[in-house]
Amino acid sequence: MEEYAEIILRLLEEKASISSDEIPIPYSCLHGVLLSLESKNQIVFEIKEKHKKVLTDEGKDLLEYGSQEYNLFNSIGDNGSDISILEKFPLGANYAFKNKWIRADKEKVYRNKEAVEDSVVKQLGALSILTEKEFSDLKKRKLVDQSKTNIYIISKGSSYGIAESCNVELTAEIVANYQGQKFKKYNFNTVGNIPNCGSLHPLMKIGEEFKKIFIEMGFAEMKTNRYVESSFWNFDSLFQPQCHPARDAHDTFFLKNPEFAGSFEDEEYLKRVQDVHESGGFGSKGHQSVWDRREAMKNILRTHTTSVSSRYLKDLASDFRPVKLFSIDKVFRNESVDATHLAEFHQVEGLIAGEGITLGDLMGFMGTFFEKLGLKNIKFKPAFNPYTEPSMEVFGYHEGLKKWIEIGNSGIFRPEMLGPMGFDESVTVIAWGLSLERPAMIKYGLNNIRDLVGHKVDINFIKKCKIIHF
């Protein structure tokens, strides 16, 4: 690239301005070299669109082999030829008649002249001097076309000067035979050209920021690639009663086909879940109601990623070790939609499993987590969740909004959930959850969720959203 830059700078020594046609470097490198020189104010350049008259492939053939009308004319004998000869020159015949080069009766075709000039070949050989009409007629015959090319007009910039020649690329050859050459300093601050195409959705950007925070705090990500879940993992394994209103079709999307989940992998575990629902255990009296296996096997769109947490915890129980896990993915709720709620949103969930972890640890962890989101002042309010006890709603004071906002929910998973999985009672699991949409709407100053997600989103909004660094 440096040698190309030098060529351009040398050419500008002799002329006030040069065009790209004059520069003996590959066109594909030209833009990059010009941007580099312009960034140092050594040159300025403008781009002009150039229309160039070119031959099509058909035109090139005709230039080489002559027009059909010319070849037809020369194929006709001195006493004329059978009329069938016209079939060999379907295009040429029209033009030969039109030019009055030939005439015909019912049986034969005759030349009207001794000789003619192939005017089309002559025109194709001199495109630059054609009249508009001549060019247009040849274009109609698909013999010529106009190509658009950009040409660069380059002139000296305010800091124009032939830079001392310097080697940019340090090669083994130079090292072996170093003779004091100068090297251009690496510019570690330079950035690549921002491609004017493709942009991450702001939700994905926020999700990546949350992921970074979790990973910073030592959490591992759970696999969440299961939108369709059984009611068992989404509700029953969490000790959520089968009569709970959240399990109603007004709140949950049930699948028609396949309506039910397949065979269950751990029937003994399933029996323990049934028992804890019906008659309690692990210090609980249970829900004291009949538990229906069919209800548990109904397929739904998961209503929270806590179903994923439940699956991971069940696997962990048989070979326990302390873990910190998180998940960020889509969940679905069949609820009335409004300016801030749609039937789907992205849930963020963190959980910590260990011996003797307390509510205080949960409050402390959330304090650290939300502080990384810029919410330094948080408070907790007792709440109820079917699968955690105690549970807390979490609020944070938002300095920008100058008010307290709800920022999530949390709690300690119940023994009725962990016991049937096989955890020792010394193990406690704390967890908390929030969404992506709410922080995204606050961060980007949106009041309607349809400005963030959905078919009405302004694509320019997506493109201009900068990555949020909390």
Terminal-to-terminal C-alpha distance of the chain? 39
CA–CA separation, 310 and 431 (whole Å):
11
Minimal distance, residue 170 CB to ligand FB9, in Å: 47
CB 234 within 8 A of CB 254: no
Contact mark string toward ligand FB9, 286..325, x via CB under 6 A: --------------------x-------------------
List residues bridging with 330 in a β-sheet.
346
Output the smallest distance, CB 321 to ligand FB9, in A.
21
Name the DSSP letter for residue 191: -
Q: Which of 96, 273, 373, 378 binds ligand FB9 (CB under 6 A)?
A: 373
Within residues 325-344, the interface with ligand FB9 by CB under 6 A covers: 333
Rank residues 3 and 406 by Cβ distance to ligand FB9 and give the closer one. 406
Furthest CA-CA distance within the chain: 118
Q: Is 333 strand, coil or helix?
A: coil
- Which residue, 385, 347, 351, is CA-closest to 365? 351
Nearer to ligand FB9, 259 or 406 (CB): 406
Q: Is 76 or 375 the residue whose CB approaches ligand FB9 more closely?
A: 375
Cα–Cα distance between 219 and 325 in angstroms, integer?
Answer: 5
**Site membership for ligand FB9, residue 410 (CB under 6 A):** yes
User: Look-up: residue for tokens 């050989």?
Assistant: 125
Among 388, 417, 429, 449, binds ligand FB9 (CB under 6 A): 388
H or E stretch at 408:
strand 403-413
Contacts for 192 with CB less than 8 Å, ≥ 6 apart? none
Name the 3-class secondary structure at 89.
coil
> Pick from 67, 68, 234, 347: which binds ligand FB9 (CB under 6 A)?
347
- Complex with ligand FB9: residue 33 or 348, whichever CB lies closer: 348
* Closest to ligand FB9 by CB, 302 or 438: 438
To the nearest whole angstrom, how small is the minimum distance from the Cβ of residue 438 to ligand FB9? 4
From the list 379, 357, 356, 353, the residue with the least C-alpha distance to 366 is 379
Q: Which stretch binds ligand FB9 (CB under 6 A): 19-27, 46-54, 230-238, 408-416?
A: 408-416
Supply the minimum distance, in Å, between the C-beta of residue 163 and ligand FB9.
48
439 forms part of the interface with ligand FB9 (CB under 6 A): yes
Beta strand 299-301 with 427-435 is unpaired
DSSP for 143-159? SEEEEEEEEEEEEE-TT
Closest approach, Cβ 339 to ligand FB9, in A, equals 12
The CB-of-222 to ligand FB9 minimum distance in angstroms stands at 12
Shortest distance in whole angstroms from residue 390 CB to ligand FB9:
11
Residue length of the chain: 470
Three-class SS state of 133: helix
| Number of residues located near ligand FB9, criterion CB under 6 A | 25
Closest approach of Cβ 288 to ligand FB9, in Å? 24
Which tokens hold the place of 353? Answer: 């499993």
Of 3-11, 194-202, 271-279, 430-438, the segment contacting ligand FB9 by CB under 6 A is 430-438
Q: Is 63 helix (H, G, I), strand (E, B) or coil?
A: helix
431 binds ligand FB9 (CB under 6 A): yes
- Residue 228 C-alpha from the chain's centroid: 24
State phi, psi for 443 to the nearest 5 degrees: -60, -40
Nearer to ligand FB9 by C-beta: 124 or 417?
417
Q: Please, what is the minimum distance in Å from the beta carbon of residue 176 to ligand FB9?
A: 57
434 is a contact residue toward ligand FB9 (CB under 6 A) = yes
* ∠ Cα 343 348 352 (to 5°): 140
Residues in 181-220 at the binding interface with ligand FB9, rule: CB under 6 A? none
408 binds ligand FB9 (CB under 6 A): yes
**Where along the sequence are the contacts to ligand FB9 (CB under 6 A)?**
306, 333, 347, 349, 373-375, 385, 388, 405-411, 431-435, 438-439, 442-443
